[in-house]
C-alpha cells in the first residue's frame, strides 16, 4: 500500500490484529470443520463463535448467517436462490446502479427465461421508491437494491424499499458490501430479507463473504457438493477467512476503524480542495453519501489517464469501480450522465490510513497532473 492510497472501496489493507488471527488459524485451526476429530471440532467451534459475533454485529441470529467466497457469490446466490425458491415467480426487480455481480446476474437471468425490470435512476444516483413499487408484480421473486453505491457513495432508500417489499410479500435483497464499516448495517433496521457482505472491504482478507438470509426466507443452495453449512453452501469452510472477518467486526465494535465523522471531515476537505482548485469539476450524485466516498468528474479529462498519472505520483485512486477498465461507468451512465462525463470521473475512497496530509498531497498531485494535461 502506498501512503496515498485512496481506493478503500476497492479493497482495504488487513488490520494488524486481523493478520494475527489469520496467522494463528493457518497454523492452529487448520482442521477441516466437517471432520469429527478434535482438530475438526475445534475449527467448527471457532466458526460457530465467529458466526455468533458477526450475527450480533448486524442485528441477526447466527442461523441467518451463511459464509460464501465473497460479495460476488452472495449476490449471485441471493438472486438465483430467490428464483429457485419460488419457481412460479419469473420476475425480478433490480436497479441499474448495482454492482456487476448483481447486474450481470440479472442480465444473465433475463437471457435465460426470466423477466427483469431495471428501475430507473436519475442524476441524484438514488433509486426511487415509487419506481420499485410500480415495478413489483404478483410474480416478482426478489427485489435487489444496494444500501450504498460503491462508486458514488450515494445511500439508497433501503428501509423504504424493504417496507414496500414486505407489503407486497416480495423478498428484498440488499447489497451492503460498500456500506459495511462506514455506516451502521443492521438487518432489522433495514428490514431486508437477504443481505450481502464482503470481508475485504473491512480490513480483512479477500475471499470471504456473507449472505444473511432472514429466518423463513428459504433459499436453495447455489453451490452443491458435500453439504457443508447444512447443505445450503457446500465447500470446506474457509476457517481463516471467517475468523478474520469476525475479528474485523470485533474491531469495528471497538472503534478501531475511522468513524463516520472523521471520514466525512477528510472527504469534505478533499471535496473543498477540488472545488477550489478545479472550478469545472463536478461531484457526482446528490443526497446522503457514504462518509468516505467522493466521485468527481473533471470535464475534458480521461479518467483512466488521470488515474495513471496520479499513480505515477504514488496516488492510488479509481476511475469508476476498482475493476472498471477504460469504458464509462455503468453507474454514471444509468444516472443519465453523458459517456464523456462518465469517462472523465475519478472515485476517491478514504479509510484507515487517510490523514489530512494524504488529502493535501493528493490535491497537490491532482494539480500537477491537471496542469500538465
Residues lying near ligand PMP in the complex (CB under 6 A)? 70-72, 75, 99, 101, 146, 150, 175, 177-178, 198, 200, 209, 321-322
CB 4 within 8 A of CB 362: yes
Whole-number minimum distance, CB 207 to ligand PMP, in Å?
Answer: 8
Rounded Cα distance, 19 and 197, in Å: 20
Tell whether the torsion through CA atoms of 349, 355, 360 and 364 is positive or negative.
Answer: negative
By beta-carbon proximity to ligand PMP, the closer residue of 44 and 103 is 103
Phi, then psi, of 54 in degrees rounded to 5: -70, -45
Looking at beta carbons, which residue is closest to ligand PMP? 71
Whole-number minimum distance, CB 371 to ligand PMP, in Å?
Answer: 32
Phi, then psi, of 53 in degrees rounded to 5: -60, -45
Give the three cell numbers for residue 338.
453523458
295: which strand partners? 347
CB 193 within 8 A of CB 173: yes
Whole-number minimum distance, CB 209 to ligand PMP, in Å?
Answer: 5
Whole-number minimum distance, CB 55 to ligand PMP, in Å?
Answer: 19
By beta-carbon proximity to ligand PMP, the closer residue of 100 and 278 is 100
Whole-number minimum distance, CB 101 to ligand PMP, in Å?
Answer: 5
**Helical ranges in the chain per DSSP H:** 16-27, 38-57, 71-85, 100-111, 129-135, 158-168, 187-190, 239-253, 260-277, 303-312, 330-334, 339-343, 356-372
By beta-carbon proximity to ligand PMP, the closer residue of 50 and 177 is 177
Rounded Cα distance, 284 and 20, in Å: 39
Whole-number minimum distance, CB 76 to ligand PMP, in Å?
Answer: 10
Whole-number minimum distance, CB 95 to ligand PMP, in Å?
Answer: 11
Give the three cell numbers for residue 164.
414496500
Q: Which residue has the cell 474491531?
A: 251
By beta-carbon proximity to ligand PMP, the closer residue of 18 and 281 is 18
Region of residue 216 (left: phi > 0; alpha: psi -120 to 50; beta: else): left
In 253-287, which positions are buried (b, 16+ CB within 10 angstroms) versus exposed (e)?
Answer: eeebbbeeebbbebbebbbebbeeebeebbebbee
Nearest C-alpha neighbor of 248 from the set 12, 24, 4:
12
Whole-number minimum distance, CB 125 to ligand PMP, in Å?
Answer: 13
Amino acid at each position: 500500500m502506498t501512503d496515498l492510497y485512496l481506493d478503500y472501496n476497492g479493497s482495504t489493507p488487513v488490520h494488524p490484529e486481523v493478520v494475527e488471527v489469520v496467522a494463528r488459524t493457518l497454523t492452529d485451526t487448520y482442521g477441516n470443520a466437517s471432520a469429527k476429530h478434535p482438530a475438526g471440532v475445534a475449527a467448527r467451534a471457532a466458526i460457530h463463535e465467529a458466526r455468533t459475533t458477526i450475527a450480533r454485529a448486524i442485528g441477526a441470529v447466527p442461523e441467518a448467517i451463511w459464509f460464501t467466497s465473497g460479495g460476488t457469490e452472495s449476490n449471485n446466490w441471493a438472486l438465483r436462490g430467490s428464483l429457485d425458491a419460488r419457481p412460479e415467480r419469473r420476475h425480478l426487480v433490480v436497479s441499474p446502479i448495482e454492482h456487476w455481480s448483481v447486474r450481470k446476474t440479472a442480465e444473465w437471468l433475463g437471457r435465460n427465461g426470466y423477466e427483469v425490470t431495471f428501475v430507473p435512476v436519475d442524476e441524484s444516483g438514488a433509486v426511487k421508491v415509487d419506481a420499485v413499487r410500480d415495478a413489483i408484480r404478483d410474480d416478482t421473486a426478489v427485489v435487489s437494491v444496494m444500501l450504498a453505491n460503491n462508486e458514488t457513495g450515494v445511500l439508497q432508500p433501503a428501509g423504504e424499499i424493504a417496507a414496500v417489499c414486505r407489503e407486497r410479500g416480495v423478498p428484498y435483497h440488499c447489497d451492503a458490501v460498500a456500506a459495511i464499516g462506514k455506516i451502521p448495517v443492521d438487518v432489522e433496521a433495514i428490514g431486508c430479507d437477504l443481505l450481502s457482505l464482503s470481508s475485504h472491504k473491512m480490513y480483512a482478507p479477500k475471499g470471504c463473504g456473507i449472505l444473511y438470509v432472514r429466518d423463513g426466507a428459504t433459499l436453495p443452495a447455489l453451490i452443491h457438493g458435500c453439504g457443508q453449512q447444512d447443505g445450503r453452501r457446500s465447500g470446506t469452510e474457509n476457517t481463516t477467512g471467517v475468523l478474520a472477518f469476525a475479528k474485523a467486526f470485533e474491531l469495528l465494535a471497538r472503534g478501531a476503524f475511522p468513524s463516520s465523522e472523521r471520514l466525512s471531515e477528510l472527504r469534505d476537505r478533499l471535496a473543498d480542495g477540488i472545488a477550489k482548485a478545479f472550478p469545472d469539476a463536478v461531484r457526482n450524485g446528490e443526497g446522503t453519501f457514504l462518509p468516505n466516498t467522493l466521485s468527481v468528474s473533471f470535464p475534458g479529462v480521461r479518467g483512466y489517464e488521470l488515474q495513471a498519472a496520479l499513480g505515477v505520483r504514488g496516488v492510488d485512486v479509481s476511475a469508476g469501480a476498482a475493476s472498471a477498465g477504460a469504458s464509462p461507468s455503468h453507474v454514471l451512465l444509468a444516472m443519465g450522465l453523458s459517456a464523456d462525463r462518465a469517462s472523465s470521473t475519478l472515485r476517491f475512497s478514504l479509510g484507515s490510513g487517510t490523514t489530512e496530509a494524504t488529502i493535501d498531497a493528493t490535491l497537490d498531485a491532482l494539480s500537477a497532473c491537471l496542469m500538465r494535461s
